[in-house]
């Protein structure tokens, strides 16, 4: 069993036109496949850039939790809203009221008696401190 021989045209002793097209198509096919792969691979693993949550998404998330009376839940919500604010604005607010005016939370919750909510700038979190 040797190499398959191309059929020759009996008049010209050359391979027939059909055989030439098939032969060249077989040589071209791997190049076409590589080109198709090269085009599709860069987009396969592409990750979308994460988008910082906007004020509306944050407000919906936090509104229900701020209606309760649990100070720990309020601290958690205020800290998450603070972090969402920082991701969007690339800075800490000067006061917690900026979270409300910027639309990150619908209102500031009432702190426990004798305490107040305050921004801990070094931890980028909201804490309860004595008044």
Residue 104 CA from chain centroid, whole number: 20
The pLDDT value recorded for residue 70 is 87
How far apart are the C-alpha atoms of 75 and 27, rounded to whole Å? 68
Is 66 found in the same domain as 122?
yes
Q: Could you tell me if residue 2 is inside a domain?
A: no
How far apart are the C-alpha atoms of 121 and 123, rounded to whole Å? 6
The pLDDT value recorded for residue 87 is 92
The pLDDT value recorded for residue 59 is 64
The pLDDT value recorded for residue 28 is 67
The pLDDT value recorded for residue 103 is 86
Is 126 found in the same domain as 63?
yes
The pLDDT value recorded for residue 93 is 94
Total-model pTM: 0.55
The four Cα atoms 115, 65, 83, 57 give a dihedral, to 10 degrees, of: -150
Residue ranges making up the domain that contains 91: 55-130
Q: Could you tell me if residue 8 is inside a domain?
A: no
Is 99 found in the same domain as 41?
no
Q: What is the pLDDT along the chain (131 residues), one digit of tens a residue?
A: 566 665 555 555 666 666 656 665 567 667 666 666 767 666 555 555 555 555 566 566 677 777 878 889 999 999 999 998 999 999 999 999 999 998 888 889 999 999 999 999 999 999 999 98
């Amino acid at each position: 069993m040797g190499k398959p021989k191309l059929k020759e045209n009996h008049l010209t002793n050359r391979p027939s036109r059909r055989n030439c097209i098939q032969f060249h198509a077989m040589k071209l096919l791997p190049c076409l496949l590589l080109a198709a792969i090269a085009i599709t691979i860069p987009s396969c693993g592409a990750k979308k850039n994460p988008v910082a949550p906007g004020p509306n998404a944050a407000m919906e998330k936090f509104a229900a939790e701020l209606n309760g009376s649990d100070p720990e839940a309020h601290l958690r919500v205020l800290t998450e809203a603070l972090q969402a604010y920082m991701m969007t604005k690339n800075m800490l607010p000067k006061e917690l009221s900026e979270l409300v005016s910027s639309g990150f939370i619908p209102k500031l919750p009432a702190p426990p008696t004798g305490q107040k909510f305050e921004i801990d700038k070094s931890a980028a979190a909201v804490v309860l401190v004595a008044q």
